[in-house]
Structure 1
Amino acid sequence: MSGQALLLNATYEPLKIVSWEKAVTLIFQGKVEVVETFDREIHSVSMAMKMPSVIRLQRMVSFHQIRQMVRFSRETIFARDGYSCQYCGKRFDKSDLTFDHVFPAARGGTKTWENIVTACKKCNHLKSGQTPDEAGMRLLKKAARPHWFPAILLHMSLRSEMPSSWSNYLFQSNYRERIFSAASSKESF
């Protein structure tokens, strides 16, 4: 049983995943409507309700607000890069991955979407404070700030058990690759 709910925009586009507690708060604030529920009930002293699985905002959230939802973090960098080393292309568990500054931090490289990529420990060690060119390594794709939608799809693809009620609101995998590449090349939708 999942303790999370899929938050949809007013237009039924997936925005992000929230805890069931946050979902219930949004329901009582009148900001969302319940679209799907789990079989499990939530009980308080004075009421009981089915645990929300999918909720939809009552009002449309603008693209600018949505874009701000993708926060820079280790998890979102790994998700953006598909939990794959951006030098050798192999996929790894989170514990076997590192951040890599494309332009080295020791030489003024910043911790930004455009300068951080996922690297396996071996490749990060081989690169060792150099640019990819200096190390004789090739970056598989240019680092870029992800579009909000690819980030949530990547996160979802890594979940071992996605609630079946969410599948109606997420694109199929053949769309994912088109969306990922469009986001990387900064195409607009």
Structure 2
Amino acid sequence: MAEQVLLLNATYEPMKVVPWQKAVHLFFQGKVEIVETYDRQISSAHLSMRLPAVIRLYRLVSFHHVRQMVKFSRETLFTRDSFSCQYCGKRFDKHDLTFDHVIPAARGGPKNWENIVTACRRCNHKKSGKTPEEAGMRLLKKAERPHWSPAILVMMNLNCRGPKVWENYLYDASRTVLFSQTVEPHM
């Protein structure tokens, strides 16, 4: 059994992924509540319960001492852009994505967060050495430097979207929901 559990701060902000055993241990210590479960049951001699999928800390943990800027890399760029081409909007596997200079490098466009976006191979080839306007293409969102958040690290460690049950709790760098549903606190 290799199920992982998404750990949320008291504010429902994703913090990290923990093994299911750690999640159960935190639950019985009274440190977390179980917010979502998998269908699978776990049992002991005295107890049977559904396997936790998402847990939330009762107490707020401050991240002020560990905040940092996100380093530019293919992984962080694709994560910022939700593994979606910023021209056609389609989602792709990371192996089918490229990065594109909005202002072409040949024209002095810098290699930085504000000038590089995720593009599929087809759109990158179509745009070639032109600006989006010259190629008759439109960026779906402005390229911006992301700020550090635990959700970025969660997504990078998963290298994918994660289990469906986590969808309401994972955000992209601009703090918008990566998925179509909104977060509703469970009481």
TM-score, normalised via structure 1 length: 0.56
- Tell me what 2:15 maps to: 16
Residue 173 of structure 1 is aligned with which of 158, 163, 180?
Answer: 180
**Residue matched to 2:62:** 61
1:159 aligns with 2:161: yes
Q: Any conservation in 1 of the 2:97–2:120 contact (CA below 8 Å)?
A: yes
Alignment of 1:1-189 (within 5 A): 1-2=1-2, 4-11=4-11, 13-20=12-19, 33-36=31-34, 54=55, 56=57, 60-62=61-63, 65=66, 68=68, 70-146=70-146, 148=149, 151=152, 158-159=160-161, 161-162=163-164, 164=165, 166=166, 173-175=180-182
Q: CA RMSD in A?
A: 4.5
Structure showing the higher helix proportion among its residues: 1
**Alpha carbons of structure 1 residues 167 and 134: separation in structure 2 relative to 1, 3 Å:** closer
Rounded Cα–Cα distance in structure 1 between residues aligned with 2:104 and 2:132: 10
- Structure 1 unaligned blocks of 5 or more: 42-50, 177-189
Q: How many residues align?
A: 158
CA contact (8 A) 1:7 1:57 kept: no
Normalising by the residue count of structure 2, what TM-score does the alignment of the two structures yield?
0.56
Residue 161 of structure 1 deviates from its aligned partner by 2.7
Distance 1:121 1:9 in 2: 38
- Alignment partners' CA distance in 2, 1:174 and 1:64: 31
- Do the aligned partners of 1:101 and 1:109 also contact (CA within 8 Å) in 2? yes
